[in-house]
Amino acid sequence: MSNTDFNQRKAVQRQLDEWLEVEFTFRETDELIEPLFALPVKTRRFVLNWVERIASAHTEMAYQFALKSTHALTVLDEAGVESWLLFVLEQYDRSGLQPAMAVIHDVENFQQHRFERESGSLYEKKAAILTPFVRGLSGRALKLEVSRDDSAWTDSETLYLPALVARLSDKKDNFLLHKAMAAHLWAQTRFGTFQCDWLQALSVYPDPRQALALFHALETIRLDSCISRYLPGLYREMQRLRAALDDTAATAVFARQASVLQSASAQSRDSLQLLGKLYGDCKAPVCCYQGRMEPQIVQSVMRARQQREKALIRVKLAEMAEEHARQKGREPTDSEFDIQQKADDELNDHFEFELSIQEDALTVPPDLAQMLTSVMLDFSEIPNEYLTPAGPGEYDLSAYDETAVESEDVWKGAYHEEGASLHQEWDFARQCHRKQWCVMRELEVKPLYDDFYQQTMQKHARLIKSLHRTFEMLRGEDKLLKRQTYGDEVDIDALVEAYADTHYGLEMSDRLFTHKHKVERNIAVMFMVDMSGSTKGWINDAERESLFLLAESLQILGDRYAIYGFSGVTRKRCELFRIKSFDDAYDAETRARISGIEAKDYTRMGVAIRHLSGLLNQVEARIKLLITLSDGKPEDYDGYYRGEYGIEDTRMALYEARRDGVHPYCITIDKEGQDYLPHMYGAANYTVLEDVAMLPLKVSDIYRRLTT
C-alpha cells in the first residue's frame, strides 16, 4: 500500500469515526474501510455521502448501511440504493428505528418491494381520486380510509381499502383493481347487502364462518349484476381483471347455480335463501375485489347510525313543522309528515323525496335529503316513526354533534393528530424532506376586550392621521386615459387638433376618445406574527400596536389581508392562531383578538410558512405577500431545530412559497438578523429594526413601500 493510499484510508476512517460517533458507541470502523476501498472512487463517494446523511438521523442505521453497502450495490443499482435509503428514512420517521432497520436488513426483498410500489396502486396516492369517485356514485356520503391489514372491507359508512394493490403487473390495472374494490364495497351499501338480518341468519349454521363466506360469494354475484346495470363500463373492466387473475373459472359453475341473483329484483334476502340450499354442497369461490365482511362491526355501526339519524331527522322535521306553522299563522301541531319517493323508473339512480305536511308540499333541504337517502339504504323505505316531529327536549343532540370536539381538547388526547394538518420539513443534513413530520393545528386567539385598542389609537393619533393621508393617496382611483381609439367620451382637445390637422390636409388621427381606466389593487397579504415566548412584554405590545396601525391603513386601501400568530412546542405540537382570516371583517371582535395576542412557546417557522402560504394560495390575487413579524431566529424545544437545521428548513419553506407565487418578506427586531436573514429571505427581502419602539411606526411604512 502506497503512502497516499494509507493516508486516504486514514482520512476516510476519521470521517466515519466522526459521523458514527465511535467515541460514544465504540463501533469498529476498521472493518468498513477495506470493502469501501474495493469500490470505484465515484461509488465510494456515493456511499460515504449517504453514510453521512443517514448518520444525521441515526448512527446505528448509518453503520448498518455502511456494512451492507457493498452487498446492496450488487443487488441494486445506485438509483435503487437511493430509493431504498429514502424508504429507510421514511420508515424511521414514521415508525421508528426497528422497522427502519428491518428495511435495511432486507435489501434483497427491496427490489421486489420497489417493483410493487412502482407498478402498484398506492392508497396514499390514489385516495384523492378514489374519494371523489365514491362520493360521485349515488347513496350515502361514504368515507375512505386505509385498511390496517391488506384486505378491503366496510363498516357501511367507511370503506377501508388496502394500502397497496400490486397483484397485476400493470400500474393501470392495479389501480382498476383498487377502484373495483371500492365500487364493490360501495355496492354493498348501495344495493342493500346489510338490509336483511344476516347476522342472525348466519348464526344458525353449524359453521357460521363458512356460511358467511358463501353468503359473501352469493352477494358478490348479485352486486356484480347490479354494477353491470348501473356502471356497465366498470363491470366490463371488473370482468377483465377477474380473467387476468384467473378467478373466473371457479365462479362460473357457482354463478350458474346462483343465476336467480342476477335478476334486477334480487335482494340480499334472496342470497340468504339460496345460502340455505347451497350450504354444504359447494365451496365459496373468492373474487379478486370482494375483500372480506365484518358482520359484527357493520351491525354496531348501523345501530348507532340508525339511532343518530332518527334523532336528527325528527328534530329537523320538528324545526320544519314549526317554521311551516309560523308561516301559515297557525299553532304548531304534532302531525306527521308525508313522504313520497319520486319514481324515476330507469333513471332511478338517486333518491328524490317529496315531503309534505297537512297537504302542503315542502322543499327538502340538502342535509335532510342526505339523511333520508341513508335511511332508505338501510330500510328501503322511510319508516313511519321517523316522520313524527320530535317533541321538545326529546333528544339531546350534543351526543351526535361531531363538531362539538374542540381542537384544544383533541390536542390533549392520545390521538392528537386527528383533524390536524401534517406538513413536511426539510432536513438539510439528509438533503431530503421528512414527510408528514409536523403536526399543525389552527386555533383561535381568545378575544380580549380591553382598552388596548383605544390606547393605541390615542398614543399614535398623529401618526394615524398621516398614515390615512398616505394610504388614501395609494388607493386605486379611476384614471382618465386621453387620446384613446375607443372610450366613453370624446376627447375635445384631440378633436380640435384633429380638425386643425384635416384643415391643413393632414390625416385625421383616430385617437379621439377618453377612456376611464380602473386601477385595481389586487393584493392579498398574510401577516405571520411571532408569538414565541421571547416576545413577552414590550415586544408583544409593539407587535399588537403595529397590527392595529396596519389594519387601520389596510382598511383604507381595501387590500385583502389575514393575520395569524404562530408558536408551538416540538414538531408534534405546532400551532397557528387565527387572529383575522381573509373573510373576517375588521370589527370589534377582530380588534379584541389582536388585543388577545400573547407570548406562547417557540418559533418553528418552516411549518408555519408552509401552512400559511398554502392558505394564501387559495386566495385569488395578482400579488400575494407573506410578511413575517419576528424577534429572532427559528428555534424549537427539541434542540435540533435551533441553528442551522431551523434556518435551512425555513429557507426551504420560503423557497417553496416563492415557487408557488408568494412573495415573502420579514420584519425583525433581532439585531443579529443581518447574519441569517439574507440567507433565508434573500438580500432585499427583510428589514431589521434597531429599536422595538419603531415597530408600529415602521410596519405600515414598509408595507406601503412593498406594494407600490
Q: Is residue 137 a contact residue for other proteins (CB under 8 A)?
A: yes
Residue 322 CA to residue 21 CA, distance in Å, equals: 75
The closest alpha carbon to 542, from 343, 403, 691, belongs to: 691
Residue 581 CA to residue 584 CA, distance in Å, equals: 5
In the complex with other proteins, the residue whose CB is nearer, 137 or 382, is: 137
Q: Is residue 233 a contact residue for other proteins (CB under 8 A)?
A: yes
Instruction: Give the nearest distance from C-beta 361 to other proteins in angstroms.
Output: 12
Cα separations in angstroms, 667 against 172, 177, 412, 466, 634? 50, 53, 34, 22, 14
Which range touches other proteins (CB under 8 A), out of 4-12, 39-47, 134-142, 327-335?
134-142
Q: Is residue 190 a contact residue for other proteins (CB under 8 A)?
A: no
Q: Is residue 335 a contact residue for other proteins (CB under 8 A)?
A: no
DSSP 8-state assignment for residue 358: T
Buried b (16+ CB within 10 A) or exposed e, 175-189: bbbbbbbbbbbbbbb
What's the grid cell of residue 702? Answer: 414598509
Q: Is residue 138 a contact residue for other proteins (CB under 8 A)?
A: yes
First to last CA, the chain: 69
Residue 587 CA to residue 567 CA, distance in Å, equals: 25
Instruction: Give the nearest distance from C-beta 495 to other proteins in angstroms.
Output: 7
Instruction: Give the nearest distance from C-beta 75 to other proteins in angstroms.
Output: 35
Task: Tell me if residue 462 falls in helix, strand or coil.
Answer: helix
Can you tell me which of 88, 89, 177, 234 binds other proteins, judged by CB under 8 A?
234
Q: For the chain, what is the total number of helices (H) and then of strands (E)?
A: 27, 19
Sheet with 153-154, strands from edge to edge, namely 143-146, 158-161, 153-154
Q: Is residue 232 a contact residue for other proteins (CB under 8 A)?
A: yes
Instruction: Give the nearest distance from C-beta 139 to other proteins in angstroms.
Output: 9
Total of chain residues touching other proteins, rule CB under 8 A: 34
In the complex with other proteins, the residue whose CB is nearer, 125 or 283, is: 125
Can you tell me which of 1, 204, 264, 347 binds other proteins, judged by CB under 8 A?
347
Residue 389: exposure state from Cβ atoms within 10 A (0-12, 13-18, ≥19): buried
In the complex with other proteins, the residue whose CB is nearer, 128 or 461, is: 128
In the complex with other proteins, the residue whose CB is nearer, 130 or 168, is: 130
Residue 636 CA to residue 605 CA, distance in Å, equals: 9
In the complex with other proteins, the residue whose CB is nearer, 54 or 130, is: 130
Instruction: Give the nearest distance from C-beta 233 to other proteins in angstroms.
Output: 5
Distance, CA of 473 to chain centre? 41
Instruction: Give the nearest distance from C-beta 141 to other proteins in angstroms.
Output: 8
DSSP 8-state assignment for residue 603: B
Instruction: Give the nearest distance from C-beta 80 to other proteins in angstroms.
Output: 28
In the complex with other proteins, the residue whose CB is nearer, 383 or 558, is: 558
Which range touches other proteins (CB under 8 A), out of 11-19, 197-205, 230-238, 697-705?
230-238
Element (H, E) at 631: none
In the complex with other proteins, the residue whose CB is nearer, 220 or 532, is: 220
Instruction: Give the nearest distance from C-beta 133 to other proteins in angstroms.
Output: 5
Can you tell me which of 132, 391, 661, 678 binds other proteins, judged by CB under 8 A?
132
Instruction: Give the nearest distance from C-beta 137 to other proteins in angstroms.
Output: 6
Q: Is residue 229 a contact residue for other proteins (CB under 8 A)?
A: no
Cα separations in angstroms, 258 against 272, 284, 349, 442? 11, 12, 25, 54
Q: Which residue has the cell 316531529?
A: 389
Other CB atoms closer than 10 Å to residue 245's CB: what's the count?
A: 15
In the complex with other proteins, the residue whose CB is nearer, 309 or 491, is: 491
Can you tell me which of 128, 252, 461, 683 binds other proteins, judged by CB under 8 A?
128
Which range touches other proteins (CB under 8 A), out of 136-144, 332-340, 459-467, 698-706?
136-144
**∠ CA(702), CA(703), CA(705), 5° rounding?**
65
What's the grid cell of residue 503? Answer: 384643415
Instruction: Give the nearest distance from C-beta 85 to other proteins in angstroms.
Output: 29
Are residues 190 and 137 in contact, defined by beta-carbon separation less than 8 angstroms?
Answer: yes
Would you give the binding string for other proteins spanning residues 348-377, x where CB under 8 A is met?
-xx-x-------------------------
Q: Is residue 18 a contact residue for other proteins (CB under 8 A)?
A: no
In the complex with other proteins, the residue whose CB is nearer, 85 or 234, is: 234
Q: Which residue has the cell 375512505?
A: 144
DSSP 8-state assignment for residue 215: H
Q: Is residue 187 a contact residue for other proteins (CB under 8 A)?
A: no
Other CB atoms closer than 10 Å to residue 14's CB: what's the count?
A: 11
Q: Is residue 495 a contact residue for other proteins (CB under 8 A)?
A: yes
Can you tell me which of 102, 129, 519, 588 binds other proteins, judged by CB under 8 A?
129
What's the grid cell of residue 246? Answer: 384467473
In the complex with other proteins, the residue whose CB is nearer, 67 or 362, is: 362
Give, as ranges, the residues between 593 and 622 that touch other proteins (CB under 8 A): none
Which range touches other proteins (CB under 8 A), out of 76-84, 165-173, 339-347, 414-422?
339-347
The closest alpha carbon to 456, from 557, 579, 546, 535, belongs to: 546
Q: Is residue 329 a contact residue for other proteins (CB under 8 A)?
A: no
Are residues 568 and 601 in contact, defined by beta-carbon separation less than 8 angstroms?
Answer: yes
The CB-side HSE value for 428 (13 A sphere, CA atoms) comes to 15
Which range touches other proteins (CB under 8 A), out of 58-66, 123-131, 148-156, 670-678?
123-131
Residue 10 CA to residue 3 CA, distance in Å, equals: 11
Can you tell me which of 231, 260, 422, 432 binds other proteins, judged by CB under 8 A?
231
Q: Is residue 241 a contact residue for other proteins (CB under 8 A)?
A: no
Q: Is residue 562 a contact residue for other proteins (CB under 8 A)?
A: no
Task: Tell me if residue 434 falls in helix, strand or coil.
Answer: strand
Which range touches other proteins (CB under 8 A), out of 489-497, 522-530, 642-650, 651-659?
489-497
Q: Is residue 183 a contact residue for other proteins (CB under 8 A)?
A: yes
Q: Is residue 502 a contact residue for other proteins (CB under 8 A)?
A: yes
Q: What is the dihedral of CA 267, 273, 279, 281, to 10 degrees?
A: -90
In the complex with other proteins, the residue whose CB is nearer, 152 or 275, is: 152
In the complex with other proteins, the residue whose CB is nearer, 264 or 461, is: 264
Other CB atoms closer than 10 Å to residue 494's CB: what's the count?
A: 18
In the complex with other proteins, the residue whose CB is nearer, 237 or 701, is: 237
Residue 17 CA to residue 11 CA, distance in Å, equals: 10
Other CB atoms closer than 10 Å to residue 398's CB: what's the count?
A: 7
Q: Is residue 499 a contact residue for other proteins (CB under 8 A)?
A: yes
Cα Rg of the chain (Å, integer): 34
Q: Is residue 135 a contact residue for other proteins (CB under 8 A)?
A: yes
Task: Tell me the residue type at 676.
Answer: Y
The closest alpha carbon to 430, from 100, 114, 11, 75, belongs to: 100
Contact positions vs other proteins (CB under 8 A): 128-133, 135-138, 179, 183, 231-234, 237, 342, 344, 346-347, 349-350, 352, 488-490, 495, 499, 502, 508, 512, 516, 518
